[in-house]
Amino acid sequence: MYSFKAPVDDIMFSLRHVAQVDGLPGWEISDAEDVLGHFAEFAENVLAPLNAIGDREGAQYSDGQVQMPTGFVDAYKQLSDDGWQGLTAPVEFGGQDVSPLIVAGVSEIFTGANHSLQMVCALAPGAIATLRLFGSSQQQTEWIPKLASGEFLSTMCLTEAAAGSDLSVISTRAVLTKTGWSLSGEKIYISGGGQDLTDGILHLVLARSGDADAGLSGLSLFLCPSQPGVRVTRIEDKMGLHASPTCQMLFDDAAAELIGEEGAGLKAMFKMMNEVRIDVALQGVAHASAAAYVAQRYAAERKQGRTIEGNAAKLCDHADVRRMLDEQRILAIGTRGICHIAIKEIQLAQKPALVEFLTSLCKVMGSEAGIRSADLGIQILGGCGYLTEYGMSQIWRDARITAIYEGANGIHKRGLVTRGLRKGGAMDDFAVLVQALGEGDQSVNDDVEHWLKVAKQLSESDDRTPQSHAFTELCANVLRKAVWVRIATMAHHHSDAEELLRLSATVLNEERIYKVSQHD
């Protein structure tokens, strides 16, 4: 099995020259290089060696307690002691207030090294952001320092057995008593609902405080620290992410505090969910990159067959293998750039409809890139890819969940063709963004013109949901092509400019027709 190598150069190139974030508030090149360099060293030497161990041992459950695999407790202690859990927290609360653009790079590296541990740790920044926006001064003062120091980790408790994607039927009850709010109900699929990394866990729980028939308007968000009234009743046996405990939780008259306004729980929870959705997209990018790295190493070493000249050949000498290796790199580099562009738009905070549109598109594209790259990696390695020795099968299994959690991809596709095309939505802003990325390329301009025609026709349809998949593919293809024009233009800034130009030519020289069949 090959050791994990953090793609720091690719990340820095993408941030600086694809997303072009230089000059944004809070972004400093030296800070980014320093933070990413230090975390890459930590990830390669501490986190990555535990990845296969975690997959093999898995998280264990006994009598309501969850135990993490060998080495995870010590690794988390080093992670928190070194301040990595407090990157996004304000300085006044013990954090470092690092730019979200730098944090995005850290998150990708973390996932590539050890997705399971990243999953358990990654909800704390979202909880911090939610408390900063909706929490009271007292809640912020009490909880943000504990999350920033790593003393507490956090969860997001939404899903119930009868309420998956349809949150309007959530039944967990919140009752206001003389001593405060009390929660009762069951939640499922709670990442990190139990673990032995920290003494405490801060659960953010979406519960019904209004009438049973009030739907989404009856939901409120609550802060509920671990206590006797909160317990894990089981952990799930999963295909992947074995070291990340996915818990079924019971809240039994558990004391809680309201976050924000009663009845506005979904608004507050969506802040945390949107933070996580971009992170999920980067999880996909991390898997795409990790799978490409392993496949490239293997293909460059494995002797197989002969060249057309009759000489001994390596796997990478064969045209079809080179095609698959190129596709892996194209998926990782291009999709990373798209995610970074979306994060830049979030930072600019000027086009909320575009941010919503890009968030869903990134979630779909990032998750599918990771799965596709891992699948290609298995094919490149052949029988060795199907074995566990080289880690490719784990990459595929761990990546597969990204298309399901934080909103199944079908839900995001539906949102793109419905909310994304509503009046006052992201249509014009998306077209402008793509044209800007295309650097004046006529082919990109033609694509945008076609995309606008299709989008306008769909926006006038009474039911455009049957076209959600095709429209998402159209959006992805148009944006991907424009991003690769930008990559080609800026390739000279990369340490391997020749390789980027070669990959750009592969993408841009392909004959593609961006059409939805019903709107030719």
Cα gap 306→321, rounded to integer Å? 14
Question: 378 Cβ partners below 8 Å, 6+ apart?
Answer: 385, 386, 392, 393, 396
User: Strand 173-177 and strand 180-191: pairing?
Assistant: antiparallel
Phi and psi of 62, rounded to 5°?
-155, 125
> Residue 165 CA to chain centroid, in angstroms?
18
Cα gap 182→209, rounded to integer Å? 10
Q: Looking at residues 366-384, what average pLDDT do you find?
A: 97
Contact 73, 4 (CB under 8 A): no
Q: Reply yes or no on whether the pLDDT at 402 is more than 70.
A: yes
Phi and psi of 304, rounded to 5°?
-155, 115
Query: What share of the chain has pLDDT > 70, as a percent?
Result: 98
Distances (CA, A) of 361 to 117, 366, 475: 26, 8, 8
Whole-prediction pTM value? 0.94
What are the pLDDT digits (tens) for 125-139? 999 999 999 999 999
Tokens of 227: 């206590």
Cα gap 355→339, rounded to integer Å? 11
Answer positive or negative: Cα dihedral of 140, 146, 149, 154: negative
- Of 41, 406, 449, 473, the active-site residue reads 406
Cα gap 218→279, rounded to integer Å? 28
* Helical packing angle, 468-490 and 427-437, nearest 10°: 30
What distance, in Å, lies between the first and last C-alpha atoms of the chain? 48
User: Of the candidates 193, 231, 151, which has an alpha carbon nearest to the alpha carbon of residue 59?
Assistant: 193
- Can you give the pLDDT at residue 22? 96
The region of weakest confidence among 109-118, 303-312, 380-389, 488-497 is 303-312
DSSP 8-state class, residue 3: P
The region of weakest confidence among 4-8, 56-60, 268-272 is 268-272
- Can you give the pLDDT at residue 393? 97
**pLDDT band per the 50, 70, 90 thresholds, residue 273:** confident
Question: 95 Cβ partners below 8 Å, 6+ apart?
Answer: 86, 87, 88, 89, 128, 144, 148
What is 146-180 written as a DSSP string? HHHHTSEEEEEE--BTTBSS-GGG---EEEEETTE
What are the pLDDT digits (tens) for 274-284? 778 999 999 99
Within 13 Å, how many C-alpha atoms sit on residue 368's CB side? 16
Distances (CA, A) of 30 to 8, 18, 35, 197: 13, 18, 9, 32
Contact 20, 337 (CB under 8 A): no
DSSP 8-state class, residue 90: -
User: Of the candidates 478, 475, 416, which has an alpha carbon nearest to the alpha carbon of residue 443?
Assistant: 478
What are the pLDDT digits (tens) for 208-237? 998 777 777 889 999 999 999 999 999 999
Phi and psi of 246, rounded to 5°?
-95, 110
Tokens of 207: 């519960």
**pLDDT band per the 50, 70, 90 thresholds, residue 151:** very high
Tracing tokens 């080289």 back to the chain, one arrives at 390
The question of whether 406 is a catalytic residue gets the answer yes
What are the pLDDT digits (tens) for 193-215? 999 999 999 999 999 998 777 77
Type of residue at 335: T
Average model confidence (pLDDT) for the chain? Answer: 93
Cα gap 367→358, rounded to integer Å? 14
Cα gap 257→177, rounded to integer Å? 12
Cα gap 245→238, rounded to integer Å? 9
- Can you give the pLDDT at residue 510? 65
- Can you give the pLDDT at residue 218? 87
Phi and psi of 210, rounded to 5°?
-100, -165
Query: What share of the chain has pLDDT > 90, as a percent?
Result: 87
- Can you give the pLDDT at residue 169? 84
Q: Reply yes or no on whether the pLDDT at 513 is more than 60.
A: no
- Can you give the pLDDT at residue 512? 42
**pLDDT band per the 50, 70, 90 thresholds, residue 515:** very low
Cα gap 110→75, rounded to integer Å? 12
Cα gap 383→154, rounded to integer Å? 40
**pLDDT band per the 50, 70, 90 thresholds, residue 272:** confident
What are the pLDDT digits (tens) for 36-66? 999 999 999 999 999 999 999 999 999 889 9
What is 338-393 written as a DSSP string? HHHHHHHHHHHTS-HHHHHHHHHHHHHHHHHHHHHHHHHHHHHHTHHHHSSTTSHH
Q: Would you tell me how many other CB atoms lie within 10 Å of the CB of residue 350?
A: 9
Q: Looking at residues 162-174, what average pLDDT do you find?
A: 84
Question: 365 Cβ partners below 8 Å, 6+ apart?
Answer: 281, 284, 335, 338, 476, 480
Q: Reply yes or no on whether the pLDDT at 514 is more than 50.
A: no
User: Strand 200-208 and strand 219-225: pairing?
Assistant: antiparallel
Contact 151, 89 (CB under 8 A): no
Type of residue at 338: I
Q: Reply yes or no on whether the pLDDT at 443 is more than 60.
A: yes
> Residue 160 CA to chain centroid, in angstroms?
22
